[in-house]
Amino acid sequence: MRQDMMKDEGHRNTVESKPSDSTRQRSLTYDETKAAEAAFKGEPFNPAWSAAAATVYAGITEAIEKRMMTATVESEVAEECLAGR
């Protein structure tokens, strides 16, 4: 019985280790690249770009906003700790 479980676990690991379509690496298209550049520069989204470019733009801008919020909170906490001394 233990050997059967080991066989099942080994099979499960090989199945799970295969990359899915969403994790497979690929090159960005022209408009996806332009959307990424605009997001990093803080420029507005161009509505002529594709839906995939919109996803890229939204993902980057959301990540930047989260990082900025985290930095702000950490800074405020540090200031409160120093003020309490």
The domain spans of the chain are 28-41+49-85
Q: Which of 85, 79, 83, 29 has the alpha carbon at shortest distance from 52? A: 29
pLDDT tens, position by position, 9-63: 444 444 455 666 667 899 999 999 999 999 999 999 999 999 999 999 999 999 9
- Supply φ then ψ for residue 40, to 5 degrees: -65, -30
What contacts 45, CB < 8 A, 6 or more positions away?
35, 38, 39, 54, 57
pLDDT above 70 covers a percentage of the chain that reads: 72
pLDDT value of residue 51: 97
- Residue 54's pLDDT is 97
* pTM, full prediction: 0.60
13-25 residue pLDDT tens: 444 556 666 678 9
